[in-house]
Amino acid sequence: MNGLEPFRLDASARGLIGHLFPFHLVLDVRCDQKVVNAGAALTRWLGCELVGTNASDHFQITRPTGVEWVKEQILLHQHDVVFLTSVADGKQLRGQFTPLANDQLLYVGSPVVGALDSFADLGLSFSDFSPHDATADIVVLTQFSSMQVRDMERKNKELGDAIAARDIFSQRALTDPLSGLVNRRGFWEGWAELSGRDSAAPLLVYLDMDNFKAINDDYGHLVGDDVLRALSSRLAAMVRGDDLAARLGGDEFAVVLTEVEHEKAPARVEELIERLAQPVDTADGRIEISLSAGIAWAQKDRALDQLLRDADTAMYQGRARGTGRITWFDDEMGVDRERRRLLTNDLRVALSLGQLDVAYQPIVLMDSGEVSAFEALARWKHPYLGAIGPDTFVELAERADLIADLDFAVLAQAMTKLAEWRREKPRLQMHANLSGLSISEDLPSRISTLLDYLAIPPDALVLEITESRSITRNQLALVGELAAAGFGLHLDDFGTGFSSMSHLQALPLDGLKVDRSFIARIRESEKDRQLVSATISMARSLELDVVAEGVEDAETESILVDLGCRLAQGYFYSRPVEELAVPQLFTEGISQRSLDQSSS
Partner 1 sequence: MYGIVNRAIRDLVLSQAGPEHWSQICDQAGLIETDFSDTARYDDELSFELVAAASAVLGLTSEEILIRFGRHWILYTGKDGWGPLLDMAGDDLRSTVAGLDALHSRVQASMPGSRMPSFTSIDRGDGALEVEYRSDREGLIPMVQGLFEGLAERFGETWHVEHLGPRPDRTAEVFVLTPSTVVASEGEWVGAV
Binding region for partner 1 (CB under 8 A): 118-120, 122, 124-127, 131, 134, 136-137, 139-141, 143-144, 147-148, 150-151, 154-155, 158
Q: How many CB atoms lie within 10 A of CB 197?
A: 10
Instruction: Name the nearest CA neighbour of 476 among 439, 504, 510, 531.
Output: 439
Decide whether 145 or 171 has the Cβ nearer to partner 1. Answer: 145
CB of 489 to partner 1, least distance (A): 53
Decide whether 101 or 147 has the Cβ nearer to partner 1. Answer: 147
First vs last C-alpha separation in the chain: 144
Decide whether 27 or 124 has the Cβ nearer to partner 1. Answer: 124
CB of 267 to partner 1, least distance (A): 58
Decide whether 149 or 534 has the Cβ nearer to partner 1. Answer: 149
Amino acid at 221: H
What is the dihedral angle through the alpha carbons of 306, 307, 312, 314, rounded to the nearest 10 degrees?
110
Reply yes or no: is the peptide bond before residue 64 cis, omega within 30 of 0: yes
List all residues 6 or more positions away from 450 whose beta carbon is below 8 Å from its beta carbon. 411, 412, 415
Decide whether 141 or 168 has the Cβ nearer to partner 1. Answer: 141
One DSSP character per residue, 120-173 reads HHHT--GGGS-TT-THHHHHHHHHHHHHHHHHHHHHHHHHHHHHHHHHHHHHHH
333 in helix, strand or coil? helix
CB of 81 to partner 1, least distance (A): 22
Decide whether 149 or 335 has the Cβ nearer to partner 1. Answer: 149
Decide whether 141 or 335 has the Cβ nearer to partner 1. Answer: 141
CB of 152 to partner 1, least distance (A): 8
CB of 20 to partner 1, least distance (A): 15
CB of 73 to partner 1, least distance (A): 36
- Is the CB of residue 135 less than 8 Å from the CB of residue 129? yes
402 in helix, strand or coil? coil
Helix, strand, coil content of the chain in percent (nearest 5) = 50, 20, 30
CA distances (Å), origin 449, targets 61, 457, 458: 110, 11, 10
Decide whether 125 or 537 has the Cβ nearer to partner 1. Answer: 125
489 in helix, strand or coil? strand
CB of 143 to partner 1, least distance (A): 6
CB of 154 to partner 1, least distance (A): 8
Decide whether 134 or 200 has the Cβ nearer to partner 1. Answer: 134
Decide whether 120 or 501 has the Cβ nearer to partner 1. Answer: 120
Phi, psi of 129, deg, nearest 5:
-100, 140
Decide whether 124 or 567 has the Cβ nearer to partner 1. Answer: 124
Decide whether 102 or 146 has the Cβ nearer to partner 1. Answer: 146
Phi, psi of 73, deg, nearest 5:
-65, -40
Instruction: Name the nearest CA neighbour of 436 among 404, 390, 414.
Output: 404
Q: Put the strands of the sheet holding 34-38 in their side by side order.
A: 34-38, 24-28, 104-111, 92-100, 82-86, 59-63
CB of 135 to partner 1, least distance (A): 10
Q: How many CB atoms lie within 10 A of CB 376?
A: 26
List all residues 6 or more positions away from 6 whose beta carbon is below 8 Å from its beta carbon. 99, 100, 101
Decide whether 120 or 580 has the Cβ nearer to partner 1. Answer: 120
CB of 151 to partner 1, least distance (A): 4
CA distances (Å), origin 266, targets 207, 260, 271: 15, 10, 9
Decide whether 76 or 134 has the Cβ nearer to partner 1. Answer: 134
CB of 142 to partner 1, least distance (A): 9
CB of 43 to partner 1, least distance (A): 18
Half-sphere CA count of 221, side-chain side, radius 13 A: 2
CB of 38 to partner 1, least distance (A): 22
CB of 501 to partner 1, least distance (A): 55
One DSSP character per residue, 228-259 reads HHHHHHHHHHH--TT-EEEEEETTEEEEEE-S
- Is the CB of residue 590 less than 8 Å from the CB of residue 369? yes
Strand partners, 96: 108
CA distances (Å), origin 305, targets 184, 245, 309, 316: 11, 16, 6, 16
CB of 147 to partner 1, least distance (A): 5
Decide whether 69 or 129 has the Cβ nearer to partner 1. Answer: 129
Alpha-carbon gap, residue 272 to 207, rounded angstroms: 11
